[in-house]
Chains A and B, each alone.
Chain A
Amino acid sequence: MLKLFTYSSYVRTPEDVKAIVKHAKLDERQLTQVTQALYYPSAHVVSDNLKLLELDEHMLQQIRNGQTLHFKGGLHEKVVLCTDERTYDVKGAEISNSLLLVPDLKFAAATSTSPLKSPRTGNANTSLERSLNDSADDDLEVPRTLEQRQVLTIFHEYFECREIRPRYRKLGELLQLTRYSGPENEYCIERKHLFSFQQLLNTVQCSRAQFVDGLQQFRAIEFDGHIRILDYEYEYRIISLMLGLISENSWALDEVEREETIYALQGIAPEPVVAGLFDIYTVPSDRCPDKFKYQESLVARIVAQNILQPGLRFRSDEFMTTWQEALPEGMSCKIEYLRGLGILDKEGAQPSIRSLAEEHLPSNIIDRMRVLFKTKRKWTLDEMEPYIDCFTTPALSVSTLLAKHARSLTEGGTRYFVSKH
């Protein structure tokens, strides 16, 4: 290791500078006018509370805009750093070089009264020597100024950030504790497991924007100051009643009325539940102002979920018929709506649809792979994607993850993934 020795404490004087410039055989005329003398931090500086955090473009922008960042992580979680929109994994990186942090240090341009010359090509050392060509305009003596600079601290470590996907699992687990299934069942709910928006946001390892997205994905509703998700059967029942209004009122699919829907369900379900579900399940109608239409994918999913209870399997044609019949007229079921709920298994004598809920699978990728390959021997990439997607990062795609955790083989021109062991 390179060791550099320094001299005992004193304050640098212009005479010292002049002397050292001479000893070092530097041509003063080739130097800019400012010398900056560097000192170690003084004894009263507490520097162990300083950290270096490496930033990407987005984080830099957020800081420049005065946005607050948050470190998040519970006792047994790896800490993440969140901006308002993104989530990052944070990792300490040790380096053998020394990084001296110097506030107010002047860079070259600020030390010169005239513009800097463009660097010469070739050996940088030559720029130190006095060049005959340059000598003419340097004859005017400009007084040298000496400025004292204190190094604030010396780092051998900094923190690296890597953007990751929001970690929603805890949100799901917390909401799972208190599924709402009507006012008559509220006595079963443990009050201390009810959480407000802010409480959940504080603990879930994702940014605020991602948190709002996550609530939408979980179809969470805020009422009585708490964020709740609904019991599937209860949700199905309320949605069925809401969908029933379409034929009852002879609405077209994109003529659904919000006020009317909420009014019609009065006394059946609390208004915030109905209004919340309505806002999650519908989008504004393109054709009629102030009217809405239900999103086919969401409706089809809750219906499928009601048929495809955990552990069940159906002949695929029977399942599709039942599913289709349960949907309001004009909506159609599509196999992709089952994403993360169930899988199509073509290996048996007859193709079947079986329940495989993503949310019930292990949160560790190795355990999850084991369960997946136990459920079904070989998978295509598209089939696995919904179950592996949550492990991906901007730098780590589903294919990369599968390459690591599974074995691929090609049968009849189709690429399949099978267990590694």
Chain B
Amino acid sequence: MPIIVKTHSAGSGEWAIIELQGDLEVRSNQSMHGQFIGDLYYNKYGQPILIIGHHILQGREQKLEKPFAVLEKSKTNEGRQLLNTTDATLDASTMNTTEGPERTLLDETVALEHKSRQRTEYTVRAICTKKLIFKARPKPIIANVAKTV
């Protein structure tokens, strides 16, 4: 059975990608949820500057040669609705799933394949056409840190 990837003719939103070399890690085993990562600035020439802890990264804004679509699984294989579990500030109107009754789809190649219910669905949540890429090594900020930031 085909897995449907829904799109919205109204046009999906534009989201950004920030590309960092390597991984972001937090100290010890603290949970990362909701933690502050860093500040993003731009200079007057449009160059992005990212300050993470005591490091400063200089990057550049780049058009993605091949854009990305952000697909969100909007239904699991059990048909459970998954929408709205992500950031509540996102526009809920772009995630309308109440069209038609619950689909129970049979894999119709009965002779060759199992009968299987396939209800997974994806929705294109956004398109990414640009990214901020930070390729250079971070530079340490050397300052007399009197009080912790």
> Which residues from chain A sit less than 8 Å from chain B, CB to CB?
1-12, 16-17, 19-26, 30-32, 34-47, 49-56, 59-60, 62-72, 74-76, 81-82, 96-105, 107-109, 111-112, 114, 116-120, 124-125, 127-128, 134, 138, 149-152, 154, 158, 170, 173-174, 177, 192-193, 195-196, 199-200, 202-203
Asked if residues B53 and A127 are in contact (CB atoms below 8 Å), the reply is no
Contact A103 B73, CB 8 Å, known A4-B53, A6-B35: no
Q: How far is the CA of A154 from the CA of B45 in the complex (A)?
A: 27
Question: Chain B residues near A150 (CB, 8 Å)?
Answer: 87
Which A residue's beta carbon lies closest to that of B23?
A98
B69 at the interface (CB under 8 A from A): yes
Chain B, residues 37-60, CB within 8 Å of chain A (1/0): the string is 111111111111101110110101
Which A residue's beta carbon lies closest to that of B137?
A2
Asked if residues B36 and A12 are in contact (CB atoms below 8 Å), the reply is yes
Distance (whole angstroms) from the CB of A376 to the closest CB of chain B: 32
Question: Chain B residues near A59 (CB, 8 Å)?
Answer: 69
Chain B, residues 51-81, CB within 8 Å of chain A (1/0): the string is 1110110101100001111111110000000
Asked if residues A40 and B33 are in contact (CB atoms below 8 Å), the reply is yes
Distance (whole angstroms) from the CB of A366 to the closest CB of chain B: 23
Q: List 14 A-B contacts (CB under 8 A).
A: A7-B148, A9-B36, A11-B36, A22-B143, A32-B41, A44-B85, A46-B86, A53-B68, A74-B112, A98-B19, A108-B47, A111-B42, A193-B111, A203-B108
> Which residues from chain B sit less than 8 Å from chain A, CB to CB?
1-13, 15-27, 30-49, 51-53, 55-56, 58, 60-61, 66-74, 82, 85-87, 90, 105, 107-114, 116, 122, 124-128, 130-132, 137-138, 141, 143, 145, 148-149
Question: Chain A residues near B5 (CB, 8 Å)?
Answer: 68-71, 81
Q: How far is the CA of A409 from the CA of B20 in the complex (A)?
A: 51
Asked if residues B24 and A4 are in contact (CB atoms below 8 Å), the reply is yes
Q: Other than the known A6-B24, A55-B68, A108-B47, what 14 A-B pairs have Cβ atoms closer than 8 Å?
A: A8-B35, A21-B41, A24-B56, A26-B49, A31-B42, A31-B44, A38-B38, A66-B9, A70-B2, A99-B19, A103-B87, A104-B15, A112-B42, A199-B109
Which B residue's beta carbon lies closest to that of A196?
B108
Question: Chain A residues near B109 (CB, 8 Å)?
Answer: 74, 170, 174, 195, 199, 203
Asked if residues B112 and A117 are in contact (CB atoms below 8 Å), the reply is no
Contact A108 B17, CB 8 Å, known A20-B39, A55-B69, A103-B90: no
Of B23, B45, B48, B70, the contact of A120 (CB 8 Å cutoff)? B45
Q: How far is the CA of A7 from the CA of B37 in the complex (A)?
A: 7
Which B residue's beta carbon lies closest to that of A34?
B42
Contact A19 B149, CB 8 Å, known A5-B25, A116-B44, A152-B86: yes
Asked if residues A4 and B111 are in contact (CB atoms below 8 Å), the reply is no
Question: Chain A residues near B87 (CB, 8 Å)?
Answer: 41, 45, 103, 150, 152
Question: Chain A residues near B53 (CB, 8 Å)?
Answer: 4-7
Question: Chain A residues near B24 (CB, 8 Å)?
Answer: 4, 6, 98, 100, 154
Question: Chain B residues near A49 (CB, 8 Å)?
Answer: 72-74, 82, 85
Question: Chain B residues near A8 (CB, 8 Å)?
Answer: 30, 35
Q: How far is the CA of A200 from the CA of B11 in the complex (A)?
A: 31
Question: Chain A residues near B4 (CB, 8 Å)?
Answer: 68-70
Asked if residues A42 and B82 are in contact (CB atoms below 8 Å), the reply is no
Asked if residues B51 and A66 are in contact (CB atoms below 8 Å), the reply is no
Asked if residues A151 and B17 are in contact (CB atoms below 8 Å), the reply is no
Question: Chain B residues near A125 (CB, 8 Å)?
Answer: 58
Of A47, A62, A100, A102, the contact of B86 (CB 8 Å cutoff)? A47
Asked if residues B21 and A128 are in contact (CB atoms below 8 Å), the reply is no
Question: Chain B residues near A192 (CB, 8 Å)?
Answer: 110-111
Q: How far is the CA of A17 from the CA of B124 in the complex (A)?
A: 35
Asked if residues B48 and A108 are in contact (CB atoms below 8 Å), the reply is yes
Asked if residues A40 and B34 are in contact (CB atoms below 8 Å), the reply is yes
Distance (whole angstroms) from the CB of B56 to the closest CB of chain A: 5
Distance (whole angstroms) from the CB of A268 to the closest CB of chain B: 31
Question: Chain A residues near B124 (CB, 8 Å)?
Answer: 63, 69
Asked if residues B138 and A4 are in contact (CB atoms below 8 Å), the reply is yes
Asked if residues B58 and A75 are in contact (CB atoms below 8 Å), the reply is no
Question: Chain B residues near A55 (CB, 8 Å)?
Answer: 66-69, 127
Asked if residues A2 and B23 are in contact (CB atoms below 8 Å), the reply is yes
Question: Chain A residues near B71 (CB, 8 Å)?
Answer: 50-53
Asked if residues A66 and B43 are in contact (CB atoms below 8 Å), the reply is no
Of B7, B73, B143, the contact of A23 (CB 8 Å cutoff)? B143
Question: Chain A residues near B90 (CB, 8 Å)?
Answer: 103
Question: Chain B residues near A44 (CB, 8 Å)?
Answer: 85
Question: Chain A residues near B67 (CB, 8 Å)?
Answer: 54-55, 60
Of B6, B17, B27, B46, the contact of A101 (CB 8 Å cutoff)? B17
Question: Chain A residues near B51 (CB, 8 Å)?
Answer: 20, 24
Distance (whole angstroms) from the CB of A125 to the closest CB of chain B: 7
Of B21, B27, B38, B60, the contact of A97 (CB 8 Å cutoff)? B21
Which A residue's beta carbon lies closest to that of B65?
A54
Asked if residues A98 and B15 are in contact (CB atoms below 8 Å), the reply is no
Contact A2 B86, CB 8 Å, known A68-B4, A75-B113: no
Question: Chain A residues near B69 (CB, 8 Å)?
Answer: 52-53, 55, 59-60, 63
